Structure 1
Amino acid sequence: FVDCTVGLGGHALAILERNKPNGRVLGIDFDPQILEELRQKVKGTKFERRLVLVCDNFANLEAVAEKHGFVGVSGVLFDLGLSSWHLEASSRGFSLWKNEPLDMRYNPQSNPLTAETILNTWSLQDIERILRVYGEERFARRIAKQIVNSRPLKTTIELVMAVEKATPPWYHQRRIHFATKTFQALRIAVNRELENLEKALPQALNLLRSGGKLAVIAFHSLEDRIVKSFLKAKAREGAVKILTKKPLRPSEREIRENPRARSARLRVAVKT
């Protein structure tokens, strides 16, 4: 089995419980820090021998899997949500509730582009474009103008204040925080999330054996659209059978237990 976004191992360890005694999981994550935490977590446990951990971008999925002998696998999983660890412990500016540097990179070692660079050096038009396309932000132009006027921006609090200034008071009363879409857009742009997903999905299909399953959990409509159109195209070709006519959503109970799951959508297909 391949977990393309292994994080702190929530899914991977649950899979290892089910595919014992000899099943293996390849866990890929682009963030070296979170991977090291997982490595320490499984050290000396019954899972250590069956969990192979690799720090890489899932855009290179096929090469990584082949290198470690994961070909003709039973399942490939993508959980595209931002982990709680990134929000609470990474100190890289993912959370709009903390005062942190505007970094937003999953892998600071291999990615030179930070959110701070975008905010302070990109043109007004380019900032507006990413807010509109990646954030689906209705006030993209106003926010982009305020960002340019507020330069230099160094911290997440300064960015939140710029968004607040640019948007009308009623926008601040909604259930979703008024800066959420701006933060989403920057994170996607910094980490090239949508391009990487488009590269990874066909590779995931290539790795599956016949009868193997591809499962993707998306958290916003941009990702979900990419997954949906990929699976539909492959179903038309006869390469997969879609098992989720509509994406599965979390139950009310699950949302109560884990509020961050509220926008999750799971799509699953089986390779023919």
Structure 2
Amino acid sequence: MTMQSPENPEKMEQTPPYHVPVMLKACLDGLNIRRDGIYVDVTFGGGGHSRAILEQLDTGKLVVFDQDPDAFENAAELQDDPRFLFIQANFRFLKRYLKIHRIPLVDGILADLGVSSHQIDDASRGFSTRLDGPLDMRMNTDQDEFSAWEVVNEYSIEELQRVLGRYGEVHNAKTLATAIFASRHNAPIETGQALIAILKRFAPKFKEFKYYAQVFQAIRIEVNRELEALEDFLTQTQEVIKPGGRLVIMSYHSLEDRLVKNFIQKGDFQGEPRKDFYGNVLKPFEPVNRKPIEADDAEVASNPRSRSAKLRVAEKLPE
């Protein structure tokens, strides 16, 4: 899941909801839900999208994935629903777990790749650029030991430069990597705010918070291997979605959206279409919307984290 825009400081004292589902109606419309269908929400999070899908099912089934232990607890009241199955795992293992539960094909899959409000607003998780907490940023706090601390304190200058440049598109990645490397020789960089103190010296004027978010995004993607997981997941969707079924993906930054766009439109992550002998493009999906769907002004005003969301919908082609 992905870093969105920095939190609104005026709302920090309020108790936020676990997660406000972004573009809920557009996601449901994109899935084209049948009441007896089988659907998968691979990013349960706060469950807003999942609960809305369940409301539209009669004899159908909803399978959800989330590796975050907090998400499992948030789904507690749904566990007795016979239509509902929670799988506590990364969505890169989609096909494996569907096979374990004897679900060969599904009618639709939804993925909301954004970091949930709950994760951002919990300082102990380390995702926030405003709240002070440990350098963690793990999506799965139960199993994964590798965290943001290791990236910041143990990576070489070259490795830091790669992460910052590739995953955060930080323009002065080498300079910042060198500064981080030098700073930690005095003492380890333990918290997010300690890292921010270093970033302040290099952030562009009037764009400080965007810069902080780019750096945190880069580290978080590295910690959770997010782009690799996304590629694994997308590759498997072509094998488990029925012809005519829907793939609905919501992303929050250009790196993710580019992978999703290329996969849907070209059947290839690099945007180089595979073709048959006759020159026909070999791809598993057909885009339902040529351009990504974006939140309207009203939703952005009520939920600023929807500002950067891009929603793409595709339909599985016949074999």
TM-score, normalising length: structure 1? 0.93
1:244 and 2:277 correspond:
no
Partner of 1:12: 50
| Map 1:1-272 → 2, pairs under 5 A | 1-19=39-57, 21-39=58-76, 41-42=77-78, 48-89=81-122, 91-151=124-184, 152-167=188-203, 171-174=204-207, 176-234=209-267, 236-272=281-317
Q: Conserved in 1, the CA contact under 8 Å of 2:200 and 2:208?
A: no
SS of the residue aligned with 2:124? coil
Deviation at 1:176, TM superposition (A): 4.5
8 Å CA contact retained: 1:205, 1:214: no
The residue type equivalent to 2:223 in the other structure is: V
Which stretch has the larger CA shift, 174-183 or 241-250? 174-183
Distance 1:60 1:90, change over 3 A: farther
Q: The residue matched to 1:188 in structure 2 has which SS?
A: helix
State the alpha-carbon separation in 2 of the partners of residues 89 and 35 from structure 1.
16
Q: Deviations over 1:208-242 (max 9, x none)?
A: 11110001001000000111111122383153211
Assess, with a 3 A threshold, how the Cα gap between structure 1 residues 238 and 199 changes in structure 2: closer, same or farther. Answer: closer
Give the aligned residue type for 2:89. Answer: D
List structure 1 segments (4+ residues) > 4 angstroms apart after TM superposition: none
User: C-alpha deviations, 1:123-161, integer Å up to 9, x for none?
Assistant: 011101100000011121222122112211000000111
Is the 1:146–1:166 Cα contact (8 Å) retained in structure 2? Answer: no
| Aligned-pair CA distance for 1:108 | 2.2
- Indicate conservation of the 8 Å contact 2:94/2:233, yes or no: yes
Write the letter of the residue equivalent to 2:55. Answer: E
Are the counterparts in 2 of residues 26 and 54 from structure 1 also a CA contact under 8 Å? yes
Larger mean CA deviation between 227-236 and 120-129 belongs to 227-236
Contact residue 44 and residue 71 of structure 2 kept, 8 A: no
Q: Distance in 1 between matches of 2:171 and 2:231?
A: 25
SS at structure 2 position matched to 1:96: coil
SS, match of residue 145 in structure 2? coil
Q: How big is the alpha-carbon RMSD for the aligned residues of Structure 1 and Structure 2?
A: 1.6
- Of 235-244 and 102-111, more deviation after overlay is shown by 235-244
In the other structure, the counterpart of 2:23 is none
Going from structure 1 to structure 2, the CA distance change for 1:88 and 1:244 (only over 3 Å counts) comes to same
CA drift of 1:53 comes to 0.4
For the residue of structure 2 that corresponds to 1:178, the secondary structure is helix
Q: What runs of 5+ residues in structure 1 fail to find an aligned partner?
A: none
1:36 shift after superposition: 1.7
Change (3 A) 1:35 1:54: same
Shift of 1:23: 1.5
- Percent sequence identity over matched residues? 37
Cα 1:14–1:139 shift into 2, 3 Å: same
The code of the aligned residue for 2:56 comes to R
* Aligned length in residues: 264
Decide whether the 8 Å contact of 2:246 with 2:314 is kept in 1. yes
Structure with more of its chain in helix, by fraction: 1
Q: Which runs of 5+ in 2 are unaligned?
A: 1-38, 268-272, 274-280
Rounded Cα–Cα distance in structure 1 between residues aligned with 2:182 and 2:298: 44
Q: Is the Cα contact below 8 Å between 2:170 and 2:211 reproduced in 1? A: no
- State the alpha-carbon separation in 1 of the partners of residues 111 and 219 from structure 2: 21
